[in-house]
Amino acid sequence: MTDSATDLAVPETATDAAGAADVTDAAVDPELRGRALDGILLLLPRVLKRELPEIGENACLFDEVGLTSAATLELILELEDHLDVQIDVEGIDQDDLRSVGTLAGFVAGHVIAED
């Protein structure tokens, strides 16, 4: 039996041992993804209003970190300010919020270009 969360259009070679997508897509700027990852790790304690144990990029945002729907919105808004970008959240789904790393990859791939 397979886990339906890992069956969603994620090629086998793009998943790690925990089933999280390894976001190395050509459309994702690796430098921006790194900055987004650092920003998420920096901002999570402020958004959640509590200290967090050291978490890595594979940490599950909801189950391990304790993120809520409201806190997710606040995190994305804080991240936009921190990175000085605007993020297109129209296409965000539960898979994008699976872990710290998948959210960083989503952010790096969905920055709205300035005209």
- pLDDT tens digits, one per residue of 29-74: 999 999 999 999 999 999 999 999 999 999 999 999 999 999 999 9
d(CA 62, CA 31): 25
Q: What residue spans of the chain are helical by DSSP H? A: 30-48, 69-83, 100-109
* Cβ contact 89:110 at 8 Å: yes
The answer to whether 68 and 91 have CB atoms below 8 angstroms apart is no
Contacts of 66 (CB under 8 A, 6+ apart): 48
In the predicted structure, residue 78 carries a pLDDT above the cut 80: yes
